[in-house]
Structure 1
Amino acid sequence: MERALRTYDNRPTNDKSKVGIRAIIIEIIMLFTYAFFAVSWIAGSILTPQIMEHFNIESFSAATLLSNAITIAKIIGNLLAAWFLVNFNPKKAIGFASLLIVVGSISAPFVSQYWMFIILRFVMGFGGALFIVYFGPIVIKYFSPEQRPIINGINNVAYNIGSIIAMLAVLPVYNWLLTWQSSLIFFAAFSGILLILWLIVGEDFNLNKSSNSSLEVNQEIYTFKDGLKDKFNYTFAFTYSGLLTLYIVILSIFPVADFTAIDSALLSATVAFAAIAGSAVGILLTKKINRRLPVLRWSGLFMTAAAFIMILTHSPALSIVMAGVVGFLMFLPITALVTIPQELPNMTPSKLTVIMGFFWSFSYIVETIAYYAIGVVIDLSGFKAGLIVAVVLSLTFFIGSFLLPETGKRKLIKT
């Protein structure tokens, strides 16, 4: 098998007609590693009552430390992802991220103190934060520009895949194994298997070779300091931050809202399921339409409009239809969005890692501040006012479409 992998790996990475066996296996491992990270994380959330009872935690605010732990882990992990990649090289860096997911998820059930449980959840979240940044370098290393929209779109739904697995499997597994500890270990075992597969199949590659050029030359190293000076990184994160805030608010705060025309939890579920359909169409749209910014612009504008209607209408039917539109349009443009940095001139795996690290970190910093502000508004003026603020903030996606560079190629008109 190793000989076969080497044979396919020797083919040029810009082959537009075929994808090597190694590339396919690596993509599958990456996809399901992050999906089962999501399963393990969501399983902990679903089983929060049992976990709180085990550790004698009565305060809900203490339970929210688990959510805060992953937020902090994401911000720090995203920023440090490039450092780990450069110093460990791809195979060890991705393996290390996967190892943290395994250690954090499989060890947490064995601890006796709640603070130790939180630390191990942080470790798992840190591994996930590193891992999500490493999708980009893998995509531009193993897939041609024509293939990348498809792979980007698939990777974008990795967490959604994990969410669906968790919603369908966590409670049945808990009822089967009878304890939350055994349930978390059960799902962690899948992450362990994927780590072993990565250690067998994963490999190192040149991090500074341009993916958008046929020239066999190394590009200048793009450092963390360069990233801090690059206005693209701030614009890129700003664009996504409002959509991210609205998405998290819809999934976390919205289900307990008491003002909607129909059960708000049903609206949240509709948004989540429609997001998967949006991702699928987004892949096709990104391949068919060469331009990136129009997809972002109009999806963002109509998403915000639909969200306003969803929370303000008194019609149950219209509310649930708009929830589907919101979820669909939230994820429709994400493939185009994450394809933009991959199409920038002289892009390399190491530079893309820095850019995506800033992207995720800055987005979550803005989201964390906005999420707190929305909570304050809800305390002062109620759920409807807080949701309106979240919807207004989602306009960053529309605004950002006028600030980002257009990386798509115009079609030539034959005369």
Structure 2
Amino acid sequence: MFAHQMVTDWRLTLTCFASITLILFLAWVWKAEDFTTADDAGPDGESYGYRDALKDSFLWRYGIAFASFLTLYVLSLVSFKKVFDEYTILNGSITNLLISGFAILGTFAGIYFGNKGLPRKPILFLAGIGMVSSFTFTLIFANSLPILSYIFVSISGFCMFLQYPIFLNLPHELKGMTPKKLTIMFGLFWAIAYAGQTIANIIWSFILGSAGYVPSLVFFIAVSCIYISLIPTFPETREAQTGNVQKAS
């Protein structure tokens, strides 16, 4: 009954989400602590401006990679519910539940491995392959082996959020990072990422409506693979600490 009201009454939905956001904001203000990104940052780091950011190849690769990630993440939770219901024998509500449920477990796993000080690129690369390949197998078996598809979509949700905390912390761990540089980078990063995801979403919707289900899936998986292809181009932010972590263990 409550779930039905949340869907049918947009005022109730917005009120609930706005209230939750306000509560979380107040909790953050109450408990948040100031921190410095890098204590030894020099004057060169502080001179970083928006013009420098636009010339930063890492920022563009980082933003485009996240746009690819968001394409899989957003479409799998928002758009594919109706797609699964219409074009496959899968239940879209169940796929959403499995993705989001295993994503919670993946988030805790990502926090755990992120705090271990392990090299970042292998984790991101392997989790990215697991995320995209699992969702691909979900689509392949969607009309023949639904149980197998549900297993693969769960794995995809887990891998999706296993890398999420690690990925978003990469700029914090870059050598010479400063609060000013970080603020500028993330301001442009979110713009690049969501603009790219929006464009991909529009193209995917157009292909689905004009060319059909299968061509739209080919485009969807191809865009998602951009994330995997860009991970190896990132700098390894924990390479120098790997030996120390192994000795300490």
Give the TM-score, by structure 2 length.
Answer: 0.83
Residues 196/255 of structure 1: CA separation in 2 closer, same or farther (3 Å cut):
closer
Residues 311/212 of structure 1: CA separation in 2 closer, same or farther (3 Å cut):
same
Confirm or deny that 1:382 pairs with 2:208: no
Report 1:10-409 matches (<5 A).
171=4, 180-181=10-11, 184-185=14-15, 188-189=18-19, 191-192=21-22, 211-213=37-39, 219-257=45-83, 258-313=86-141, 314-408=144-238, 409=241
Identity fraction in percent: 27
Count of residues in correspondence between the two structures: 240
Matched to 1:296, the amino acid is L
- How far the C-alpha of 1:388 sits from its partner, in A, is 2.9
Q: How many angstroms apart in 2 are the aligned matches of 1:367 and 1:213?
A: 35
Q: How many angstroms apart in 1 are the aligned matches of 2:24 and 2:98?
A: 31
Matched to 1:397, the amino acid is Y
Give SS of 2:87's match. coil
User: 5+ residue gaps in structure 2?
Assistant: none
Q: How many angstroms apart in 1 are the aligned matches of 2:130 and 2:7?
A: 40
Q: How many angstroms apart in 2 are the aligned matches of 1:187 and 1:289?
A: 35
- How far the C-alpha of 1:323 sits from its partner, in A, is 0.6
Confirm or deny that 1:411 pairs with 2:243: yes
Q: How many angstroms apart in 1 are the aligned matches of 2:57 and 2:112?
A: 30
- How far the C-alpha of 1:359 sits from its partner, in A, is 1.6
C-alpha contact (below 8 Å) 1:245/1:394 kept by paired residues: yes
C-alpha contact (below 8 Å) 1:259/1:384 kept by paired residues: no
Q: How many angstroms apart in 2 are the aligned matches of 1:346 and 1:234?
A: 19
Cα-to-partner distance string for 1:297-325 (whole Å, 9 max, x where unaligned): 11111211111110011211100000101
- How far the C-alpha of 1:186 sits from its partner, in A, is 5.7
The structure that has the greater radius of gyration is 1
Cα-to-partner distance string for 1:254-296 (whole Å, 9 max, x where unaligned): 1112233422332132112211111111111122252000011
Matched to 1:411, the amino acid is G
Give the TM-score, by structure 1 length.
Answer: 0.52
Residues 219/227 of structure 1: CA separation in 2 closer, same or farther (3 Å cut):
closer
